[in-house]
Amino acid sequence: MVEGIGKPREEDINSFTMQVISILALVVKNIGTLSFLRDVLCEFLGTALFLFASLGSAVLWPQLPDPDGSLSSPHVAGGVGSSSEPDLPSPPDARHLAECHPDPMRVALAFGASVSLVSVCLAPATSGGGVHLNPAVTLALAAGLRVSPWRAALYVAAQLLGALGACALLAGVVPDSPGRQLGLNQVALGVHPYQAFSVEAAITFQLVLCVLATSQPKSAFHLLGPPVIGLSVTLGHFVSIGYTGCGMNPARSFGPAVVHLNFHNHWVYWLGPCVGAMLAAILQDLVLQPRWGCPGDWLLEFKELFPKAPGRQPDTSEHTLG
């Protein structure tokens, strides 16, 4: 009798195992399609271009001493640190490289403009009509079942690699000097980590909420997605750049942290944006525009993401930028 009870269970386990293997085979086949690989490439290329242009505006360029010992004006930094009186006596430490600070207005506009332009350029090449450029945005879209789990995982990997590539390229073109900063995010003095976490969550919340609103095909702002998202990114920098340097994007914080090998309070720039993104997704899908009546509805839609036939691919019609 024990054998009679155990045999069906073994058959069920074998059947379940075969189903899992079949699904994994279809997923791998889906990942190997040209359109899927092109989407992943767009995430890598888009993130690299976006961060190279954006972080380039936040780099602290050195102020090089002239042969006579005086400090020359910096090449960039929004005019901060330049002097209209070149005949002023040089400070005692003129032999060393001094640094100038980038203009927050310039940095905020650079981030907003670059995310808009990169999205406009790469959106036509993607199968879903847009790029994410941000692991927090990808997480929110995956939680809302707008992208499949395996697509989201590969997108995040591509975004992180793109961030590393952008920072490595930026490190190669920026003059090497003591104290050189390549857009490294750090919590400001006097700001506690929990406060920085709250700021990062808040600015990412408004960004993802904007992304979800403009991604709706029936939205009045659907065709204005890139500039609207760019304004949202700019707003986030205006609000938080003095507190945290404005992460809002874990990939943006990850690249400079790896280049500088400085991960102090780095959890703020991952947990804050991810929590803010998830809160925005919950608000959008459960309150503002309810999509499910109970957890079972979410589970049924989640199961629909998995391909059941070789020719079927998950629905990614709501890909958006971010």
Q: Are residues 24 and 108 in the same domain?
A: no
Same-domain pairing of 54 and 9: no
Would the pTM count as exceeding 0.85?
A: no
pLDDT value at 150 more than 60: yes
Range of the domain at 215: 34-61+103-304
Q: What three-state secondary structure class fits 259? A: helix
114 within a domain of the structure (yes/no): yes
Which amino acid, residue 169? L
Angle 234-237-240 from CA coordinates, rounded to 5°: 150
Residue 322 has pLDDT above 50, yes or no: no
Q: Answer yes or no: is 251 within a domain.
A: yes
Same domain, 18 and 56: no
Confidence of residue 96 (pLDDT cuts 50, 70, 90): very low
Shared domain for 11 and 43, answered yes or no, is no
Distance CA 132, CA 75 (A): 33
Could you tell me if 254 and 129 lie in one domain?
Answer: yes
Q: How many Cα atoms occupy the beta-carbon half-sphere of 48 within 13 Å? A: 15
> Looking at the structure, do residues 159 and 113 belong to the same domain, yes or no?
yes
- Please tell me the distance from the alpha carbon of residue 41 to that of residue 16, in angstroms, as a whole number: 34
Specify the CATH number for the domain of residue 211.
Answer: 1.20.1080.10
User: Both 114 and 26 in a single domain?
Assistant: no
pLDDT, tens digit (0-9, with 9 covering 90-100), for 1-11:
445 554 556 66
Looking at the domain assignment, is residue 169 inside a domain? yes
Q: Confirm whether 315 is domain-assigned.
A: no
The answer on 248 and 193 residing in a single domain is yes
Same structural domain, 141 and 197? yes
Tell me if 66 is assigned to some domain.
no
Answer whether residue 234 shows pLDDT above 80: yes
Residues 1 and 150 in one domain: no
Does 311 map to a domain?
A: no
- Asked if residue 274 is part of any domain, the answer here is yes
What is the separation, in whole angstroms, between the first and last Cα of the chain? 59
Q: Is the pLDDT of residue 156 over 90?
A: yes
Q: Looking at the structure, do residues 16 and 112 belong to the same domain, yes or no?
A: no
Q: Dump pLDDT digits (tens) for 266-297.
A: 999 999 999 999 999 999 999 988 888 888 88
Candidates 72, 146, 85, 153; CA nearest to 305 is 146
Q: How many structural domains does the chain have?
A: 2
Is there a single domain that holds both residue 108 and residue 23?
no
- 168 within a domain of the structure (yes/no): yes
CA of 80: how far to CAs of 61, 162, 182, 226, 318, in Å?
11, 30, 17, 30, 42
